[in-house]
């Protein structure tokens, strides 16, 4: 294709005049292609798909019933702007009930069209050219991408097994701390599955105050906390003075595609977010916000979602352990993040997690997501489609049979 007349007009942040010409294939595209190849070459082999990071279920019937009713309500037809009071009030009740966090729904909570846009918009409130955002790696990159769009840069904080998958805040050079405006955290952490502790959050608050940094804690997976009750950053004294927490309806309520979440915490940061948001979108459809409010008020949903993914993680861990993997049920999320095999009993070697992942999908139709940012790890998601517990067991049996045959070496 010849270049359009506007080829030189693309902004540098997306590649400038070279935009659209790169041949680099991104990780998730490589996985998709390998999946297509495995399906085409081995139609007889069931694809065991641990690659998808999306809930496998629809939103609960009670939530869909509210949506079905509200979609016909003419009062819901217009722009929602910065959100309806009923949703903010339900969010405040949810924060109080689950985490003991008291928030003023009028000033300290604002809805967002999912947590992704909130992470994309918050840098606009703080980042000038030359400013720094501190971000954990591996992780969800959106706030970092937008930091760069505004002329800032990202300082990566590796989440290493040696540090128990916490960032080493003390290792950040003084000049970086001086330039840093945002610290973006995500606990329960995706992909490592690590839960935050009160002690860690206290250290984060001290760090933020000492270096005058705003904390953005991404709580997208918070309802998927196992073993320990879900912990909100805002429940730790002093947290509301230094930042905000972003909540999502996606994971904990099976409402991935509905696009709804909320930002809560320091009143002035919530206000700045609302101002940026008001200049970016016109709010989520009011019927969806009302259905979201009903979900937030339903005390039965989080337990059911949690129980399902915990059960699946337990089965997966038991299966992988039998095949040589050294893994434990994670503290949270629906991901198992586990060291990638270095090779196979037959002498095959894998230099990276990506190489191991490509082998598993193309040769054995087992789909995983590789991470090579801070050690070689594979992420297994338990959001595969299986209608009942027996189907889960059948999938685990297939996984075990295929892995035992190749004997991974670690």
Ligand X SMILES: Cc1ncc(COP(=O)(O)O)c(C=O)c1O
Residues that bind ligand X (CB under 6 A): 53, 114-116, 140, 186, 190, 218, 220, 248, 250, 256, 261
Q: Least distance in Å: CB of 34 to ligand X? A: 21
Residue with Cβ nearer ligand X (225 or 250): 250
Residue with Cβ nearer ligand X (256 or 294): 256
Q: Least distance in Å: CB of 140 to ligand X? A: 4
**Alpha carbon separation from 161 to 165, 375, 400 (Å, rounded):** 5, 8, 26
Residue 155: which of 144, 146, 164, 163 has the closest Cα? 144
Residue with Cβ nearer ligand X (220 or 361): 220
Which tokens sit at 73?
């309500």
In the chain, the N- to C-terminal Cα span, in Å, equals 46
Residue with Cβ nearer ligand X (114 or 283): 114
Which tokens sit at 242?
């230094």
Q: Quote the CA–CA distance of 297 and 313 in Å, as a whole number.
A: 27
Q: Least distance in Å: CB of 268 to ligand X? A: 23
Which tokens sit at 63?
């939530």
Strands (E), 257-374: 261-265, 335-339, 343-344, 366-367, 369-371
Residue with Cβ nearer ligand X (56 or 364): 56
Max CA distance (Å), the chain: 66
Residue with Cβ nearer ligand X (261 or 292): 261
Q: How many helices (H) and strands (E) does the chain have?
A: 13, 14
Residue with Cβ nearer ligand X (116 or 306): 116
Q: Quote the CA–CA distance of 201 and 349 in Å, as a whole number.
A: 40
Strands (E), 98-168: 109-112, 132-137, 153-158
Do residues 88 and 262 touch, judged by C-beta distance below 8 A?
yes
Q: Quote the CA–CA distance of 51 and 369 in Å, as a whole number.
A: 6
Using left for φ > 0, alpha for ψ between -120 and 50, and beta otherwise, residue 291 falls in alpha
Tokens 């999946």, located at residue: 35
Q: Least distance in Å: CB of 21 to ligand X? A: 29
Q: How many Cα atoms within 13 Å fall on the side-chain side of residue 162?
A: 4
Q: Least distance in Å: CB of 242 to ligand X? A: 20
Which tokens sit at 300?
């039965």
Tokens 């909540």, located at residue: 247
Tokens 């095949």, located at residue: 323
Q: Least distance in Å: CB of 172 to ligand X? A: 21
Q: Least distance in Å: CB of 152 to ligand X? A: 20
Q: Least distance in Å: CB of 259 to ligand X? A: 7
Residue with Cβ nearer ligand X (252 or 408): 252
> Under DSSP, is residue 368 helix (H, G, I), strand (E, B) or coil?
coil
Do residues 381 and 334 touch, judged by C-beta distance below 8 A?
yes
Q: Least distance in Å: CB of 131 to ligand X? A: 22
Find how far residue 286's CA is from the centre of its chain: 25
Residue with Cβ nearer ligand X (28 or 410): 28
Residue with Cβ nearer ligand X (140 or 325): 140
Q: Least distance in Å: CB of 352 to ligand X? A: 22
Q: What order do you get walking across the sheet with 180-186 strand by strand?
A: 109-112, 261-265, 243-248, 214-218, 180-186, 132-137, 153-158
């Amino acid at each position: 294709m010849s270049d359009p007349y506007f080829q030189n007009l693309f902004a540098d942040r997306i590649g400038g005049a070279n935009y659209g010409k790169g041949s680099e294939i991104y990780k998730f595209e490589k996985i998709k292609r390998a999946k297509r190849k495995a399906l085409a070459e081995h139609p007889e082999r069931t694809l065991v798909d641990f690659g998808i990071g999306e809930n496998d279920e629809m939103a609960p019937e009670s939530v869909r019933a509210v949506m079905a009713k509200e979609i016909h309500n003419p009062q819901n037809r217009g722009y929602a702007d910065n959100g309806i009071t009923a949703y903010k009030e339900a969010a405040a009740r949810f924060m109080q009930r689950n985490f003991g966090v008291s928030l003023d729904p009028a000033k300290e909570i604002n809805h967002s069209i999912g947590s992704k846009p909130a992470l994309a918009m918050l840098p606009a409130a703080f980042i000038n050219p030359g400013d720094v955002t501190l971000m954990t790696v591996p992780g969800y990159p959106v706030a970092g991408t937008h930091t760069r769009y505004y002329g800032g840069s990202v300082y990566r904080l590796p989440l290493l097994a040696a540090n128990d998958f916490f960032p080493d805040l003390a290792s950040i050079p003084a000049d970086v701390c001086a330039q840093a405006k945002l610290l973006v955290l995500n606990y329960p952490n995706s992909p490592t599955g690590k839960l935050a502790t009160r002690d860690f959050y206290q250290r984060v608050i001290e760090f933020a105050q000492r270096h005058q940094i705003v904390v953005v804690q991404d709580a997208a997976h918070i309802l998927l906390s196992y073993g320990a009750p879900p912990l909100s950053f805002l429940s730790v004294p002093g947290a509301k003075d230094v930042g905000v927490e972003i909540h999502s309806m996606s994971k904990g309520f099976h409402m991935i595609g509905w696009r709804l979440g909320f930002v809560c915490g320091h009143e002035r940061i919530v206000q700045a977010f609302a101002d940026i948001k008001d200049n970016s979108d016109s709010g989520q459809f009011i019927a969806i916000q009302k259905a979201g409010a009903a979900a937030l008020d339903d005390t039965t949903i989080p337990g059911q979602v949690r129980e399902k993914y915990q059960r699946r993680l337990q089965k997966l861990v038991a299966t992988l352990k039998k095949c040589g993997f050294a893994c434990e049920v994670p503290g949270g999320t629906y991901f198992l993040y586990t060291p990638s095999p270095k090779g196979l009993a037959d002498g095959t070697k894998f230099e990276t997690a990506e190489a191991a992942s490509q082998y598993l999908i193309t040769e054995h139709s087992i789909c995983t997501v590789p991470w090579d940012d801070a050690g070689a790890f594979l992420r297994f998601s338990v959001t595969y489609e299986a209608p009942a517990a027996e189907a889960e067991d059948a999938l685990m049996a297939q996984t075990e049979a295929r892995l035992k045959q190749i004997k991974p070496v670690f």
